Amino acid sequence: MSQHFQFQLTATDGLARRGEITMPRGNVRTPAFMPVGTAGTVKAMYLDQVRDLGSDIILGNVYHLMLRPGAERVARLGGLHEFARWPHPILTDSGGFQVMSLAALRKLDEKGVKFRSHLDGSEHALTPERSIEIQGLLDSDIQMQLDECIRLPAERAEIERAMEMSLRWAERCAVAFGDQPGKAMFGIVQGGDLIDLRIRSAERLAAMDLKGYAVGGLAVGEPQAVMLATLDETLPVLPTKKPRYLMGVGTPQDILRSVARGIDMFDCVMPTRSGRHGLAFTRFGKVNLKNARHAEDSRPLDETSDCPASRDYSRAYLHHLVRANEALASMLLTWNNLAYYQSLMAGIRAAIEGGQFEAFAAQTEEDWARGDI
């Protein structure tokens, strides 16, 4: 623990980095996968389980929490850590991305974004200043700037307008955040799939000397090759000694290939959301437990796992639970999927420490290629 937000690189292997973020509430081993804890909970999990799987940090969601129960109410109740009984680090998003994908009747301009709640139609406004204020009320350890993420494909003019506005919003967020030694505010690189705009965005954010940098505007419909090529061009422009966070990514393969390019932090709804839809991630690929072929398969998902959900329950039972739409299906498959993601991250961290990352990545991808066993 440290009273200040600090990031140390402890090993590198090619462009892959092993590091540690130290904060007052605890340390985050990188490369790190951050489970999505939307409204102060990782759906279908107890947070003690999430912790026991090796999660050092979870995500909190401004959009949901500002609408319900409200940021001021969470603050009155002691902040998000106290409210959700998660005493470890929390990274909160700005709320902007979800406004653009969930809210009704949105109006976005230089000031910020006005929208109506998808819950009760009430009017709300998110400005850079209000987003940082809300993240402060939640007592978030790592706060994200408000940005505008453009879905791809898009016209250059549109991508440039959103990228430039996101840079101005980064400045406003940095001013609103001020100087909070034990916390961090991360900027977000935008620029779509246009390399010159990506470089301009990264250079201007690097000049702001922020405590960490996210790469946004990816995993929004572009091919994986475009995402990876964008990382190849963007990451060299960002400071080496600051954490890099690739937002919304991704599949196990996306994670491996992004770590290989120098990404330190990931968040993705995939393991939790797909677990609720009957999909299991295993070392040998994905298993769709809705499929009738599992109806009499007495094997567990992975007998070598130390996670009970992966080791102790037959696929036949899991198939039955999924077909019966039982709550236990979501619980066991979310548990399995997060266990798999965190074991992948632990393997990645160990491989970088041992200078074996390339071999680890190749073997892992080969295991998946064996397909659905």
Question: Would you tell me which residues interact with ligand 0WW (CB under 6 A)?
Answer: 36, 38, 59, 61, 93, 97, 101, 147, 149, 188, 216-220, 247-248, 267, 269
* Minimal distance, residue 313 CB to ligand 0WW, in Å: 27
Comparing CB distances to ligand 0WW, the nearer of 10 and 101 is 101
257 closest CA partner among 10, 1, 16: 16
* Minimal distance, residue 267 CB to ligand 0WW, in Å: 5
Question: b/e for 220-236, b at 16 or more Cβ within 10 A?
Answer: bebebeebbebbeebbe
Residue with tokens 């200078």: 355
* Minimal distance, residue 150 CB to ligand 0WW, in Å: 8
Residue 353, helix vs strand vs coil:
helix
312 catalytic residue (yes or no): no
127 contacts: CB under 8 Å, gap ≥ 6: 111, 112, 146, 172
User: CA-CA distance, 55 to 307, in Å (whole number)?
Assistant: 14
Q: Exposed, middle or buried: residue 346 (CB in 10 Å: 0-12, 13-18, 19+)?
A: middle
Query: Cβ atoms within 10 A of the Cβ of 110, count?
Result: 8
Instruction: Tell me the pairing of strands 112-116 and 123-126.
Output: antiparallel
Comparing CB distances to ligand 0WW, the nearer of 13 and 147 is 147
3-state secondary structure 286-301: EEECCCHHHCCCCCEC
What does the DSSP 8-state code read for residue 139? T
Comparing CB distances to ligand 0WW, the nearer of 154 and 269 is 269
Point out the catalytic residue in the list 13, 141, 267, 302.
267
User: CA-CA distance, 169 to 237, in Å (whole number)?
Assistant: 20
Comparing CB distances to ligand 0WW, the nearer of 286 and 311 is 286
User: CA-CA distance, 41 to 45, in Å (whole number)?
Assistant: 8
Point out the catalytic residue in the list 93, 139, 147, 264.
93
Residue with tokens 């330190």: 264
* Minimal distance, residue 17 CB to ligand 0WW, in Å: 21
Comparing CB distances to ligand 0WW, the nearer of 5 and 63 is 63
193 catalytic residue (yes or no): no
Q: Exposed, middle or buried: residue 287 (CB in 10 Å: 0-12, 13-18, 19+)?
A: buried
Comparing CB distances to ligand 0WW, the nearer of 250 and 347 is 250
Residue nearest ligand 0WW by beta-carbon distance: 248
* Minimal distance, residue 62 CB to ligand 0WW, in Å: 8
* Minimal distance, residue 35 CB to ligand 0WW, in Å: 10
Amino acid at 319: H
The residues that are catalytic are 93, 267
